Each structure stands twice: as C-alpha cells, then as structure tokens.
Amino acid sequence: MGTDRLVRFYCLVTSLALIAFVFPTPISASEPTIRLTNGEFAPLMSARVKHGGLVSHIVTEALANSGYQVEYGFFPWKRAYVMAKNGRWDGSVGWGYTNERAEDFVYSDAVFPSRTYFFHLERTSFDWQEDSDLLGIKIGVNRGYLSEKMLQKMQERGLNISYQTTTTELQNFRALLSGRVDVVISNDTIARGLLTEHFSPQERDIIVQHPRPFTESPLHVIVSKNIEHTEEIILAINRGLEALRESGRYQALLDEFEAGGYE
C-alpha cells in the first residue's frame, strides 16, 4: 500500500472511530427486555401518570441497574394476572403475597409498602376491631385485590358479611358517597390522590379513614413460573432494588412522589 493510500486509510479508520464515539449505538439495542403487565392503581401504577406511577418507576430503575429494559402492558388487573400467569408476559407489577399466587409465580423482594384501610362517611357509626364488627355492613372493594381475598376467607370461615366489587377505587368512593355501600376498602395513598382529584372539599371532609389497617402487605413484582428465565429475572430485580436503596435513589423517588412529582 502506497504512503498516500496508507494515510487515507488511517484517516478513514480514525474518522469512523470518532463517529462511533460521538454517536454510540443506543444502549437499548443491546439490553434485554422484560415484559411486565401492569394496571390502574394511580398514582402508584397507571398509564396516565408520569413514569407509569411510582411503583412502575422503581421497578424500571431497579432493572436498569441490572442491565434490563422494561416493557409495560396496562390491562384490567384480572387480565394482567392471567396473562402473566400463562407466560404470555414475563410477570406483573404490584402484587401482595398470597399462597395461591405463589403456586404460579416467584416473588421479588418488596418494592413498596402497602396498607389498606376502611373509609366511611362521618355520619356512619363504624368501628373495626374484630371481624364480627363487619356483620351487617355493606362493603365496597376492588375486584381481584388482596382485600377481596381477605373478605372471601372470612366468608369461608362462616362469617356472614356482605360486599360488592368494582373495577376502580373511584367507583368505590362514589358508591360510598351515594350510600350504596357503608364502607370501602382502599390503599391510603390511592385514596388521598383520588379524593383530592375527583371530589370537592365538602365531600372529602365527610369521609373518614379508620385508623386500623385492614391489610398490610408490601407490593412485589411477580414473575411467572411458566417462562424460561424466572430466577434470572427475580435476581435482576432484587439486585437492582438493593442498588437503588444503597445509592439513596430509592428514597429520592419517594421524596419526589410525596412532593407531587407523579401527578
């Protein structure tokens, strides 16, 4: 190769190297993608809020720490569960632990603490200290949630309680205000957001939260046992969550949430 051609060759190689440096291949091209079903539980999880909600954002960042992308599919919760159970999606976001679910899924470490409470109108005399206090009370609860399963277990034990299910928390609170139910069960974080967004100050003022939690169950990612890489995904989530907490990023996301950053 002549001197001029050799110089031109090295110039070409150098130029290509510079282009590769300035315009690198997107990371997403090499990162594997985990597909998770999701649902409406705003502002913790929702297609309508920033980052898909706080819990979705935590899971996204945790998996990014482990070198994965996330694809979310938002569905009604019952469908979200079945599609993940069957392995059509890898797993699902935001579920409390039950022995029944553990037959079909492996649970990640806790992503977010979650408590549900009874809410009732100020004029309604209601106190809950034991299960029998729910006798004669019309209860509103979301279909497919852990709270509904708790009520079902009470019925199986012979407790004659009455409840009706809806597909959204908003429907429950509207039923409460209209008198169709006496109490509703809701996550306290969700309830605060819904009441602020959809109800007047006068309506909010007459709704009371009972101080005793009905359920205390952290939210997890559940990964289907009907896929090939179940344990690999669980380890990636757990490593990522640990890194988020150790770096202080997890707390920063919580602070952003409390400041209204996901509205």
Res. 11: pLDDT tops 50: no
Taking 3-state DSSP, the helix, strand and coil percentages for the chain, each rounded to the nearest 5, stand at 45, 20, 35
User: Tens digits of per-residue pLDDT, 236-248?
Assistant: 999 999 999 999 9
Query: Is 13 a domain residue?
Result: no
Alpha helices of the chain — where are they, by DSSP H?
3-22, 54-65, 77-85, 99-102, 146-156, 169-178, 188-198, 201-205, 230-247, 249-258
CATH number at residue 148: 3.40.190.10
Same domain, 228 and 101: yes
Q: Tell the burial category of 249 from Cβ atoms under 10 Å away from its Cβ (0-12, 13-18, 19+).
A: middle
How confident is the model over 142-162, as a mean pLDDT? 90
Percent of the chain topping pLDDT 70: 89
Query: Is 5 a domain residue?
Result: no
Same domain, 69 and 158: no
Query: Is 32 a domain residue?
Result: yes
Res. 26: pLDDT tops 80: no
**H/E run at residue 262:** none
Structure tokens at 79: 């469908």
Which residue range is the domain that position 178 belongs to? 115-216
Q: Is 257 helix (H, G, I), strand (E, B) or coil?
A: helix
Same domain, 63 and 125: no
Number of helices and strands (H, E) in the chain? 10, 11
How confident is the model over 43-47, as a mean pLDDT? 91
User: pTM (2 decimals)?
Assistant: 0.70
Percent of the chain topping pLDDT 90: 69
Look at residue 149 in the predicted model and tell me its pLDDT. 86
Query: Is 203 a domain residue?
Result: yes
Residue with tokens 């990014």: 64
What residues have CB less than 8 Å from 1, skipping those under 6 apart? 9
How confident is the model over 28-57, as a mean pLDDT? 88
Look at residue 30 in the predicted model and tell me its pLDDT. 63
Same domain, 183 and 237: no
What residues have CB less than 8 Å from 34, skipping those under 6 apart? 63, 68, 69, 70, 71, 90, 91, 233, 236
Res. 235: pLDDT tops 70: yes
Number of CB atoms found within 10 A of residue 32's CB: 13
Same domain, 212 and 222: no
Q: Domain count for the chain, please give it.
A: 2
Same domain, 81 and 157: no
Res. 225: pLDDT tops 90: yes
